[in-house]
Amino acid sequence: MLNAADNELLTRTGAATPMGQLFRRFWVPVLLSQQLPEPDCPPVRVKVMGEDLVAFRDSKNRIGLIEPHCPHRGANLFFGRNEECGIRCAFHGWKFDVFGECLEMTTMPRNDGYEKARARIRLKAYPTREAGEIIWAYLGPTETMTELPAMEFMRVPPSHRFVSKKLQQCNWAQACEGALDTAHFTFLHMSIGEDDAHGVMNKSEAAASGDKDRVRWMRNDGMPRFTISEHDAGLVMGAARTADGDDLYWRISQFLMPNHALAPSTFPGENYHGQTFVPINDEACWIYCYTWNPDRPLTNAERERFHAGHTIHASVDENWVPIRNRNNDYLIDRVEQKYRSFTGIKGVSEQDACIQDSQGFIADRTREHLGPTDLGIVRFRRLMLESARSLADGQAPRAASKPDGYLVRAGGTVAHSSQPLDQVMTARFGDPVGIVREGYR
C-alpha cells in the first residue's frame, strides 16, 4: 500500500516529474529496429514518457529522434522526406540531420547572416543506439549519459533471440509489477481440472524438462516465500514453493532499473525471457519482449510460436496492438473460464494484460492489502521511490553507471530447503546475484 503522493510519484514519468527524471538517466527502448527497416526509409512517430517525437534512419544508417515540429512554421516532420542524411520538411524544404542540426534553410537568402542564423536553429534531438533489434534512446542530460545496459539478449547472435513488442493500455508501473509478482502463477495462468499442463507453459519445453512437476508445485503452493537481494543493476527476487520431499521449487526473477523484468521460469538449457516497460504516457506503455537462448539458435517452430503469441509474446496486429485487449475484454470466454482455465482468456501475455489493465489506467495503490507474497513489488516500489527522491536531492542512480550489472540471468531451479537464496543462485547461475558466468546455461 502506498499513500496517494507516493502513488503519483511512482507512476508519473513526464519530463517535469521526479520519476520522469529518474527514467531519463537510463536508456529506454523507443522502437523495434524493424520499424525503421533501412536507410532513408519513412520516418515514424514516437511517443515516450509523454514526449511527441519523430524518428528516422538516415543514409548513413544513423537513427535520428527529434522533436516533430519544424522550427520554421511548425509543420510536422513526420510528413517530411527522409533524404540524403537528413529529413526535409514537406512545407518549405528546411532540412535537419539526426543531431537536430539545421542543414538547409531553403527559404532564407544566402546572405551574410545565413550561417549564423542556421547555426542558431536546432531541434531537440536525443542520442540513440541500436542493440538487440531495438532502438534505444537517452532522454536525459548529456553529461550523465552512459553505455547501454549489457543485457544478455543483446549480446547473443540474432539467431539465438526473438524480439517483439506489444501495447499495454495502463500505467507502466502496474504492468512491471505484474511481471515481478511471481505468486500469481498459481492462479491467473492456471488451468482448471485435470488437464494441468495445457496452455500455461511452453509445451515443447515441458516435454523435455519435467514441466508437469513444476505446474503441480505451483498449483499446490500459492504462498511462495520471497527472498530479495539488491545488486548493482536492481533486485534479484527469489520465490520458493514447496516441491517434493525436502526440496523447494525456486522461481527467481530480476528487476533491472528502471523498467526491466527478467522472467523466473527458465531451467538450464531452456529459453530465457525478459520484458521492458516503456511509458507512452502515464496511461499506456509499450512492452518490449525478448526471448533468447545463450546456447543455440531458436528453432523456426519456436519463432512461429512466439510470433503467434506465446509466453510473454502477445498475439498482435500490424501496429503491435494485442488482438485480445482492453477494448474487447480480451475476448474472454466464460465457458472456457468455467471449465478449463482460470481466466477464460487465451495467452499468458493476455492474461497478464487483462489483470493489470483491470486495476485501472493508473492503479490506486492506496486501497491495497499486501501480504508476504507481495514482497517483490514492495521492494520494487521502495527502490524506485527512493531512487527518484535521491535524484531529486542530487544523487544520481547507481545502476545507470553500472551497465555491466545488467548482464544477469533469472530462472528456476530446485534446491534443498536448507539452502539460502545466494547459495541457490550460485548453484544455478554460478553467481549469487545471477551475473552470467561461463559454464552455466
Q: Given the complex with a copy of itself, which of 354 and 414 has the nearer CB atom?
A: 354
Distance of alpha carbon 376 from alpha carbon 229, whole angstroms = 10
Q: Residue 95 or 160: which CB sits closer to a copy of itself?
A: 95
- Kindly state the smallest distance separating residue 91's Cβ from a copy of itself, in Å: 5
Residues 381, 2 contacting (CB under 8 angstroms):
yes
In the complex with a copy of itself, which residue's Cβ is closer, 268 or 360? Answer: 360
Name which of residues 80 to 99 contact a copy of itself (CB under 8 A): 81, 89-93
What pairing do the DSSP bridges indicate for beta strands 247-256 and 272-281? unpaired
Q: Does 39 bind a copy of itself (CB under 8 A)?
A: no
The C-alpha atoms of residue 374 and residue 226 are separated, in whole angstroms, by 8
Q: If binding means CB under 8 A, how many residues of this protein chain bind a copy of itself?
A: 58
Question: What is the widest separation between alpha-carbon atoms in the chain?
Answer: 86
CB 38 within 8 A of CB 270: no
Among 34, 60, 74, 437, binds a copy of itself (CB under 8 A): 74
Residue 361 touching a copy of itself (CB under 8 A): no
* Least distance between a copy of itself and beta carbon 411 (Å): 22
Exactly one of 169, 276, 373, 387 binds a copy of itself (CB under 8 A); that residue is: 373
Spatial contact of 292 and 272, defined as CB atoms under 8 Å apart: yes
281 contributes a contact to a copy of itself by CB under 8 A = no
Residue 171 neighbours by CB distance under 10 Å? 28
Eight-class DSSP state of 184: G
In this complex, which beta carbon is closest to a copy of itself, that of residue 12 or of residue 95? 95
Select 89 or 154, whichever has its Cβ closest to a copy of itself: 89
CA dihedral 142, 145, 147, 150 (to 10 degrees): -140
Determine if 349 is a binding residue for a copy of itself (CB under 8 A). no
DSSP state of 271: P
Q: According to CB under 8 A, which one of 47, 72, 198, 216 is a site residue for a copy of itself?
A: 72
Of residues 28 and 55, the one with the C-beta less far from a copy of itself:
55
Q: β-strands 128-131, 95-96: how paired?
A: unpaired
Restricted to residues 155-194, the positions that interact with a copy of itself (CB under 8 A) are: 181, 183-184, 186-188
β-bridge mates for residue 260, sequence order? 256, 276
On the question of a cis peptide bond just before residue 258, with omega within 30 degrees of 0, the verdict is: yes
Q: Specify the residue, 121 or 150, whose C-beta has the smaller distance to a copy of itself.
A: 121
CB of 144 to a copy of itself, least distance (A): 27
396 binds a copy of itself (CB under 8 A): no
Given 146, 281, 337, 419, the residue binding a copy of itself (CB under 8 A): 337
Q: Which is nearer to a copy of itself, 324 or 402 (CB)?
A: 324
308 binds a copy of itself (CB under 8 A): no
Question: Per CB under 8 A, does 107 bind a copy of itself?
Answer: yes
- Looking from the CA of 184 toward its CB, the CA atoms found within 13 Å total 18
Q: What are the CB-based long-range contacts (under 8 Å, 24+) for 365-372?
A: 365/1, 365/2, 365/6, 365/7, 365/10, 366/1, 366/2, 366/3, 366/4, 366/7, 367/1, 368/1, 368/2, 369/1, 370/1, 372/223, 372/225, 372/226
Instruction: Name the site residues for a copy of itself (rule: CB under 8 A).
Output: 40-42, 69, 71-76, 78-79, 81, 89-93, 105-109, 117, 121, 181, 183-184, 186-188, 222-223, 329, 332, 334, 337-338, 342-343, 345, 351, 354-355, 358-360, 363-365, 367-374
